Amino acid sequence: MKSAIARNANGQCKLGYCYDHGMGTTKNELKAFEWYLKSAENGNIMAQKNLGYCYLNGSGTVKNEIKAFEWCLKSAEGGNAEAQNYVGKCYYDGALILIKQFIDIEKLQIMELKRQKRGDLSYDHSIII
């Protein structure tokens, strides 16, 4: 808690996780969202992904698929593998066709190649275009 209050991005993310999952405290989606947001704004890629999922599921905030994508994309660009899979799936499935301004095929290809080099089989579609 002290590190989170001292604006430590890792501490903020961990505190958000505790509120998100009720670890050591009462589960509170609103507080989880608030701490994830602070941490994400401080550059923590795990918090950026978690914040994206909060927006995706309406957890602690109003559901917003565009903001979900934006935060997951930021996390993916920072190297978060789970966010890279989510972003790749969005591109592959065309789930976010309405936000074409975010589609960058070159970045998509780079993320897919990184995923393949890691040997990540959790998302088994080839999205190289």
Domain spans, the chain: 2-118
Dihedral sign, Cα of residue 66, residue 67, residue 68, residue 74: positive
Rounded Cα–Cα distance for residues 65 and 41 (Å): 18
Rounded Cα–Cα distance for residues 69 and 8 (Å): 25
Whole-number pLDDT of residue 123: 55
Q: Are the beta carbons of 52 and 39 closer than 8 angstroms?
A: no
| Interval 24-41: pLDDT, tens | 999 999 999 999 999 999
Higher pLDDT among residues 97 and 41, named by residue: 41
Q: What is the dihedral of CA 77, 79, 81, 86, to 10 degrees?
A: -10
| Interval 46-55: pLDDT, tens | 999 999 999 9
Q: What's at 27, amino acid-wise? A: K
Domain at 2-118, CATH class: mainly alpha
Q: Are the beta carbons of 52 and 68 closer than 8 angstroms?
A: yes
Q: Are the beta carbons of 24 and 18 closer than 8 angstroms?
A: yes
Whole-number pLDDT of residue 128: 42
Whole-number pLDDT of residue 46: 98
Rounded Cα–Cα distance for residues 58 and 45 (Å): 20
